[in-house]
Structure 1
Amino acid sequence: MTTGWSIYVIAIVAINILGCVWLIWWTGKRRPGDPAPTDTSHVWDGNLTEYNKPMPRWWVNLFYITIVFAIVYLVWYPGLGAFAGVAKWTSAREQAADKARDDAKLEQTFAPYAGKSIDVIARDPNAVALGRSIFNNTCATCHGSTAQGAVGYPNLTDQIWHWGGSPDDVLHSVLEGREGVMPEWGKVLTGMGGDNAVDYVVAYVRTLSNPDTMQNNYMAAQGKALYNGVCIACHGVDGKGNTAMGAPDLTDDYWLYGNSSESLRHTIENGRHGVMPAWRNTLGETRSRLAAAYVWSLSHPTQSTVTATR
């Protein structure tokens, strides 16, 4: 807060306090010339008259005590502009202390799972329950409460892993994050094969999961040459992909962005850029392991407990 704004806030506070003092003083006494309460003969309930009587002295004194308390409060805590207060209290420091205390309690809960492989953790029902809670609070926003994902967000309950599905691979994805980039190939392919080049590649990619459809398929035949010239570096000759690069397998029936011709055309022509955030700094390593163990349990039910995940 700048000095000018600080002075402004202090002035507003001071004016309000002085205004309250004056108002209590002004209304807390009778003045010469005020009519007596009995002058109108309007009396209710025995002692309630038409004119207001001054407040009782004890009541007025309570107001003054409240104002004194407010002044002390503003001096003790930071309530006067940029003035830090005698106690030097800040909400950030109190929040940090509360967080540290709660984190210490959490660490006691998570300590038994520190450093363990996620496939081992996944065999513990209590650990899976903790992992599910962590998943719902952090991962469900993208992957859904059932972990089945959405367009652009992978399904975590199947056996398809673009970056590898080993325990270490899954844990690395959670701890360090992933960044998958599909380059824009539209202009390159058009320069190589003409205006229909992207459609040719789409036709060929569709045959990778069913090679029999390659026979007498003119568009796929044209697309194969283009695929070998551009796509083979990441997806391989057989289209099986490369988990080291996050390049997906093109021979299965799973399509992260949809399997329509329009979606495939968009992917090839304009590229895709998918980011999985790194959770190490946010969750810490052990909580990340628990979340990863829960994910592992969903795709490996026979190798882990499922009693706490359904």
Structure 2
Amino acid sequence: MSTGWSWYVIALVVLNIAGCAWLLWWTARRRPGDPKPEDTSHVWDGDITEYNKPLPKWWINLFYITIVFSIGYLVWYPGFGNFAGASGWTSAGAHDAEKARRDRQLEETFGVYANQPLPQLAGDPQAMALGRSIFANTCAACHGSSAQGAPGYPNLTDATWNWGGDPERILQTVLDGREGVMPPLGTVLEGMGGDVAITQAAAYVRALRSEDIEATLRNDYMAARGKKYFDGLCVACHGPDGRGNTELGAPDLTVRNTLYPNTLESIRTTIIEGRHGVMPAHRALLGETRARLVAAYVWSLSNAPAGAPPERQ
């Protein structure tokens, strides 16, 4: 809070407290010329009389005690501009202390799973129950309660991993997050062949997902023409065969369970506008042990331990 705003708050508080004290004093006393309590002449229904009397002393004194309490409160706790209060208490400090206490409790609960390999955790039913609970609280908002994702959010139950599906790669993703960027190429392609070049490149990408790409290219003129644009612009990230690069997060373009709809229009949108996908880091939120548990649960969705029953969705 700036000095100017601090003085504004201080002035406002002082004026309010002083105003309350003055109002109590002003209304609690009788003034010359006030009618006696029985002389107001305000009578209703024959026997209900209005008396002109101040509040009882005990009631007035309660109000004064409240004012004194408020002054003491502002001395002890923050609330008087930038003055931090004699106690040094802050809501942020109280939150941090409570969080530290809760974190210690969680460490005691999850400590037995610290540093265990993900496949080992995946074979422990109790660890998987905890991992499933953490997933529901932390990950389901994006990936869905069944972990099957949505457009722009990966399906975690299949074998397609843009950043690699090895246990340690999944753990790294959970801990430190990922950021994948597909740059917009619409302007570049328009300069190479107009809007039709964008459509041809999109048709070629879609052809990569066919069962027999050679036959598709022989029968699809637009896809065949789009290969030269793919070779000129896309191979640096997706590779000459379109199978992607897990070091860059460049997706495998030959799989059918794609991150965005496998339609020509959707692929055109990706080429023209690009895509920007962010998986937030959870190291600070979960800590390493809880991140390890949820990573083991995610890994288990597509790598069930031998002899284990299939995961119920």
Query: Partners of 2:3 and 2:220 in 1: how far apart?
Result: 77
Query: C-alpha offsets along residues 245-287 of structure 1, whole Å, 9 cap, x if unaligned?
Result: 3222222212212111111122234432222222223322112
Could you say which residue in structure 2 is the equivalent of 1:5? 5
Structure 1 residues 133-181: Cα deviation after superposition (integer angstroms, max 9, x where no partner): 3323332332223322221111112221111111112111111222223
Q: Is contact 1:78-1:84 (8 Å) kept?
A: yes
1:223 is aligned to 2:226: yes
- 1:77 corresponds to which residue? 77
- For the pair 1:148 / 2:148, whether they are aligned, the reply is yes
Per the alignment, in what secondary structure is the counterpart of residue 180 of structure 1? Answer: strand
Structure 1 residues without counterparts, runs of 5 or longer? none
When structure 1 is superposed on structure 2, of 204-213 and 167-176 the one drifting more is: 204-213
Q: Which residue of 2 aligns with 1:271?
A: 274
Q: Match for 2:245 among 238, 242, 252?
A: 242
1:199-214 equivalences under 5 Å are: 199-208=199-208, 209-211=210-212, 212-214=215-217
Q: Deviations over 1:15-37 (max 9, x none)?
A: 22222222222322334443333
- What is the match of residue 24 of structure 1? 24
Q: C-alpha displacement at 1:116, in angstroms? A: 1.6
Instruction: Report the TM-score when normalising by structure 1.
Output: 0.86
CA distance in 2, matches of 1:147, 1:15: 57
What is the aligned residue count? 309
Question: 1:85-116: CA deviations, max 9, x gaps?
Answer: 22122111111111111111111112112112
Distance 2:298 2:269 in 1: 30
2:111 is the counterpart of 1:111: yes
Normalising by structure 2, report the TM-score: 0.85
Residue 286 of structure 2 corresponds to which residue in structure 1? 283
Secondary structure (helix, strand or coil) at the match of 2:259 reads: coil
Change (3 A) 1:226 1:80: closer
- What's the counterpart of residue 35 of structure 1? 35
Deviation at 1:242, TM superposition (A): 2.5
Which blocks of at least 5 consecutive residues in structure 2 are unaligned? Answer: none
Aligned partner of residue 199 in structure 1, secondary structure: helix
CA change 1:180–1:83 in 2 (3 A) is: closer
Identical pairs, percent: 61
Secondary structure, aligned partner of 1:179: strand
